[in-house]
Each structure stands twice: as structure tokens, then as C-alpha cells.
Amino acid sequence: MEDISHILDPLNPAQREAVTADTGNRLVLAGAGSGKTRVLVHRIAWLLQVQDVRPWHVLAVTFTNKAAREMKGRIEEMLDEPIGGMWVGTFHGLAHRFLRAHWQDAGLPQHFQILDSDDQFRLIKRILKALELDESRWPPRQAQGFINSHKDEGRRPPHIDAAGDFFLEQQLRIYRAYQEACEKAGSIDFAELLLRAHELLRDRPDILHHYRERFAHILVDEFQDTNAIQYAWLRLLAGDRDNLFLVGDDDQSIYGWRGARVENIQSFQRDYPNTQIVRLEQNYRSTSNILGAANALIANNPSRLGKNLWTEDSAGEPIRRYAAFNEIDEARFVVERIRRASQDEGMARSDCAILYRTTAQSRLFEEALIQAGLPYRVYGGQRFFERAEIKDALAYLRLVANPSDETAFERIVNLPPRAIGPRTLDLLRTQARADGSTLWEAARVAVSQPLLPARATGALRGFLELIEGLAASAEAEQELPDLVAEVLEASGLPAHFEKNKDGRGIERLENLEQLVEATRRFAAEVPNDEGDILGSFLAHAALEAGDAQADGFEDSVQLMTLHSAKGLEFPLVFITGVEEGLFPHSMSATDPNRLEEERRLCYVGMTRAKRLLYLTHAESRRLHGREDYAMPSRFLREVPAELIEEVRGGGVSRPHGGRAASGFGAMGFGARRSGTGSKAGAATVDAGGGFQLGQRVRHPKFGPGVVLNAEGHGSGARIQINFESAGAKWLVLEYARLEPA
């Protein structure tokens, strides 16, 4: 018999049982870090190696593209050979694959384009305008939410009964007009990918039959965060074959706000009564202090399926809590701890993660990391492919691939400026609406008739010829990177950005170069037989969740939202901004269901930590241009006091040779037990000259800022201020002419 010890040895008995189980529906319901993902991966390796299942008979669904790549890599490592033909991906990625293969049956043009949420938003704004609906009364975000949530539930406009409700009627009207515009342009949004793929399987028994035969084994990670349409899709594909292997944790359902339904766990058990539930109770990730804290926190949620989770690991370090004066002090503290861990204790930077509730919080950490000279990566922030200049460039490529792409047309018809003004555009829009044609077609008509002033006609003709010329190049089967370079050059975008005076010109040009690089990498990875490589690349750009950027770079500190940390683990974790109003978020604090979801998010965050967990909060915080004073989060109180140790400030790096002022040195590195509810005394530390650390001040030249640090005495006293406009600077206190702000 073949050696299968590498598949089974790294598993405990409960995990082994799940991995080697006969076919039949299985639901692995277990807490964080109990090895669910490991079980899924080993199960696939087991099927392939021991059960001789062919790779193309396996369908595996992960929550991110990164997780999909890692899963594939792990399995190939275990089997020591490449596994071609296996479908591993996110629901969206897999749906896209279906639709690419069956575009005709799905009623799509061959080169359909994916609208990301920003494209979708812009399109909805244009629809509101066309429908003459006032944006202040009918906010585009609301319409976007309406459309997406109905699609996530599988509802098209005819399925929605407005029942004479004026609000609903208007939303429906927008939904219809939006859908029409998408059909005309041949573009589809994220929710539509899933809905269309579902309808395709539902309405075409032959296609469904084919895939049912093909996917003898269907495995899903993070099942607790599937939405209605995804679950319906799984049910369709599985039929009555009893071949579903799902893993999940109800305590980690954190996407309810986006339509995920944790109830799918119960529905599954109801819909497939023969399902065997597998429970894993040993946690292999965290110290018992961290696990104890997370367990205690989540116990505050009343509606849980309930489970045990224990670890053999030692107690480990206590959880550290830091009360910062403000958000700048918080960033300084976190970065200083990371600097110490990486420089003094030899920890890899990539072992350190900074987690936050909202993306807006990342900027200060980034600044502090830059200042400390620590490389970092932001996951899931603004994706590379979402940067304005990249979207501009992609819009050229999209229009080249598909001239009906209205979103792309609108974006670049006058970018760089080529004298195609708003009046010309309005005329095109009106014309297109009247004829039921696309903007491209309307433009074709416009240049062949004396409709527009000569100058506008000339400009428009130039634009059409430019795109047509590039489309001819694309047809000529060039290499993708060469084509992209040609399109960029011809577009005039590089020259335009170079001239641009906003100071970001160089960065933009570099990003455009990165885009060509990205196509090179992509072309090297994608097998040649995929045909339409430009189309594949554009889909990749729309679907890639931004996590790929973080791969393969130098050892960097990891920054991400709590949501995007799901499934990951790090030796050292900082959960920041643990304040009422921010976490739990103010939008969730009054709704018990949403509050529970925030608590699950906190549970997800805490259980990412393997060895050491910091919880930080700031007494005052400037966010979105407003300064707020915040109470420490209720989540801090829900962690047993004996597991937490309060840390006081300190650890501030000083420039060479500087001696700490007496008050500053007093901050020390000491830690003391909390439980008394008292906060770190550092807030009162004098930074000299009557200023305090964290205090807001104003400088006659640099404007407003915050006191970060101080050193020296008397005439040698220096003070470090982080200025809003000029960044951090050391100033001689005597001459600084600072005023309290």
C-alpha cells in the first residue's frame, strides 16, 4: 500500500476520522484554530491519493483567492505533483468560470465584463440621472444595496412585489433600468455572477447534468459565510449525490451585513438529514490565555450553536492592553512594539499583524511604519486594480475588448482631455437612449452626420479611430504585455499623468508600469490554450481581492481589516481601536443582531493570534475629520481581567544620543495587572514646556499637530510633533513657538 502517513500523521483522531470518512454529506462544525481548513486540505489529498479520485472530479470553494492558491499549493506539496483540472476558487471565481464556458447559454456576449462595486456605483449614478431622480432623495448607495441584496437572495425585478409602496417602486425602477443598462453593455456585477451561474444550472438540465457528473466531490471552507444564492448553487450542483463536505464555525460568521446567512448551517442539516456532523474541539493555534479570552468573549452572544474549545498549549503571555491618549499615540505604540519584536527579538515582520475595524484606520499605522523604516503590506485596502490610474488604463483595455462597455466608455472618452465635452456626451447619451443603442454606436452615428460642431466631431472621430486601431492590434494576437504597453502608450495616459500637478504623477506612472508587469506575470501563469487572454486578464483584475499583491514581497508587517483576517494566523496580533463606537461600530451598537456580529468579529480577530495578543484603544480619536472621545469597548470588559495585563506607554525610539526628559523616562516599559479599571498614567506625562504627550498643538509654519515625543533638558530640550501637513518633525522646544491648539 502506498505511504499515506504524510496525510494522516499530522491529524488528531477526530480530524483523521473526518478526512478518511466514506462519501456522504459531512458538516465539520468547529471553533477557530481547530484545524477545519487543515482537514479540508487533507481530505482532498486523501481523495486524490487513496481513493484515486481524479482531480477534475473535485470542486473546492474557499473564501479568498489567496486561500485558493494556498490550498492548491499545500495539496500539490503533499502529493508531490501538480494537480491540473481541479476547480479551486471562490464562489465568484467559480461562477465566472462557468459563465466564461457557457456565455451563450447564459445569454451573455463572449467578452462580457465584470463591474466592480465602484463601477456599479458610477453606473447607478448615471441611471439616476437618466431617470431624473434626485440623488439626495435617492442615494445611489441605497439603490446599490437594494439591487445587490435582492440579487444575493436570487430575486429579479419581477420577483419583487412593491405592493404600491412608493419607495420600493422607485428602487425597482432603478433596478430595472440598471439591469437593462448592464445587458446592453454586456457587463455583469459581482452579485450577478452568482445569480446568472445559478440560473444557468437551474434552467439547463443538460449543463447541470454535466457538472453533477463531473463534480463527484464538493468541499467548502468557511461555510458559515455563504449567502442564499451560494447555498442554492451548492444544492443544485450536489443534487442528491450526498457529496458535500462543508466546514464552518457559526461563531465566525461576520458577513451578515453583506447577505451571508449563518442559518445555512441549520438549513443544511434540515435539507440533508443524513448529514454527519463532525466536531473538532482541540485548538492548535493559540495559547490558553488567548483561547480563554476569546471563549469568554464569545460566550456573551446568546444565539450560538455552542461548542467546546480547549488547548494543550501553555498559558503563555497574558493579553496586553494599551490605553493610548489618541490615535497617533496608538500607532506609535504598536509600531514600536513591532520594531522591538522584529529587531530585538528576531521575529519575522510578516509574523506581526495589525488589525483594525475600518480601512480609514490604516493610514496612521502606515505612516508610523514608514517612519520606523519597517516594510509593510496592506491587505484588502484599496486594491491595486482599484486605483484610479489603473482603472483608467483598464477602461481602455475593456473598451478595446468590448466597445459596448458603457462604464469604460464614459470613463475615458475624454481622458486625457481631448475636447469631448459634457455637451457632446449628453447628446450621445440622449441619442443612445432614443435608439436603444450603446454610446459607442451613438458616437459612430454622430461622426457620420452633421450633428456636432466640427471640432467635437473631429475629436470624437479621433477617439473612435484610436480604439478601433487598438482593437485591431488586439486581434492580431500579440503577446498580452506588449498589447497592454501599446494600449497605454496610445492612450496618452502616461503623458497626461506626467503633466498632472497633483504630486502623484510619478507614483501613477510607476503604477502603470506595474500594470504591464502584472500582465507579464499573469501571461506566464495562464496556460496558452485559454484563448482570449485579454478577457481573462480583465476578469482577473476585477475578481482578484487585492491579496495577491501581498504575496512574494520582502518580509513585511501585515495590515488588514478584521474582516480580511478571517482564516489567517500570526504569532503577534494587535487589535486596534477597541473603542465603543468604533468596535463595536456605532452602526451596530443598538441592533442586537449586529452587535453579536461585531462580537464575532472580535472573536475572529482574537483567535488569529498564536502567541501574543494586544488590544489597544485610544481615549480620543480623529477619524473622518472629527475628533471623538471614546470609552474603551465593552469587549474589553468581557475578557476576564485576570487574563489581561495593562501596558503603559514607552518604547519610544529616540534619535541618536538623546536622553529622555525625566517625565518621559518615567513612562517606562512596565506593565501592571488591570482589573481595577484604572488606565495607564501616561496621559499626564509632561513633555516639557507645559506640553503633554498626545496634546494637540499649533505651529506658526507647520500648522496643527500632535506631540509625539520629547527629549533633553533646558535649552537642549527637543520636542517631536506629528504635523497634519508636514509629518513628524523634531523641533527645539525653546524656538518652536508652539501653542496649544
- Which segments are annotated as binding site for ATP? 30-37
What does the block give as the cell for 99? 459563465
Reading the block at residue 661, the C-alpha cell is 526628559
Using CB under 6 A, pick the residue from 7, 14, 15, 411 that binds ligand ATP.
Answer: 15
392 is catalytic: no
Burial of 594 (0-12, 13-18, 19+ CB in 10 A): middle
Residues 6 or more apart whose CB falls under 8 angstroms from that of 302 comprise 596
Which one of residues 119, 189, 249, 351 is an interface residue with ligand ATP (CB under 6 A)? Answer: 249
**Residue 11 binds: one of Mg ion, ligand ATP, none (C-beta under 5 to 8 A by kind):** ligand ATP
Catalytic position from the list 119, 192, 221, 410: 221
Restricted to residues 260-289, the positions that interact with ligand ATP (CB under 6 A) are 284-285
Task: Name the minimum Å distance from CB 49 to ligand ATP.
Answer: 19
| Catalytic site includes residue 729 | no
Residue 37 touching Mg ion (CB under 5 A): yes
Residue whose entry in the numeric block shows the C-alpha cell 455552542: 306
Single-letter residue type at 81: E
Q: Is 20 in the site for ligand ATP (CB under 6 A)?
A: no
- Min dist CB 420 to ligand ATP, Å, is 51
Residue 498 has a CB neighbour count (10 Å cut-off) of 11
User: Is 240 a catalytic site residue?
Assistant: no
Candidate residues 157, 318, 481, 567; the one interacting with ligand ATP per rule CB under 6 A = 567
Q: Give the one entry of ligand ATP, Mg ion, none that residue 571 binds, where binding means its C-beta sits below a cut-off of 5 to 8 angstroms depending on kind.
A: none
The span from the CA of 19 to the CA of 12, in Å, is 10
Site for ligand ATP in 25-64 (CB under 6 A): 30, 32-38
| Shortest separation between residue 241's beta carbon and ligand ATP, angstroms | 25
Residue 113 grid cell? 465584463
Pick between residue 234 and residue 280 the one whose CB is nearest to Mg ion.
280
Phi-psi group of 503: left, alpha or beta (phi > 0 → left; psi -120 to 50 → alpha; rest → beta): left
Report the C-alpha gap between 706 and 710 in whole angstroms.
12
Active site residue 222: yes
**From ligand ATP, Mg ion, none, which one binds at residue 285 (CB under 5 to 8 Å depending on kind)?**
ligand ATP
Site for ligand ATP in 606-665 (CB under 6 A): 607
Phi/psi of residue 467, each to 5°? -65, -40
Q: Is 221 a catalytic residue?
A: yes
Catalytic residue among 26, 36, 332, 387: 36
Instruction: Kindly tell me which of 424 and 607 has the beta carbon lying closer to ligand ATP.
Output: 607
Choosing from 285, 357, 566, 608, the catalytic residue is 608
Is 37 part of the annotated catalytic residue set? yes
Set 224, 252, 311, 607: catalytic member: 252
10 contacts ligand ATP (rule: CB under 6 A): yes
At its nearest, how many Å lie between ligand ATP and the CB of residue 285?
Answer: 4
Q: What is the DSSP string of 609-647?
A: EEEEEEEEEEEEEEETTEEEE-PBPHHHHTS-GGGEEEE
573, 585, 596, 27 alpha-carbon torsion, rounded to 10°: -50
Q: List strands edge to edge, sheet with 87-89.
A: 87-89, 58-61, 217-220, 244-248, 26-29, 276-278
Distance in Å, CB of 567 to ligand ATP, minimum: 4
CA dihedral 47, 49, 51, 55 (to 10 degrees): 60
Find the helix or strand (DSSP H, E) in which 115 lies: strand 113-115
Name which of 305, 312, 268, 387 is nearest 30 in CA terms. 305
- Does position 567 interact with Mg ion (CB under 5 A)? The reply is yes
Using alpha carbons only, how large is the chain's radius of gyration in Å? 28
Catalytic residue among 116, 222, 329, 330: 222
Minimum separation from the CB atom of position 77 to Mg ion (A)? 18
Give the residues lining the site for ligand ATP (CB under 6 A). 10-12, 15, 30, 32-38, 249, 252, 284-285, 567, 569, 607
**Residues identified as active-site:** 36-37, 221-222, 252, 608
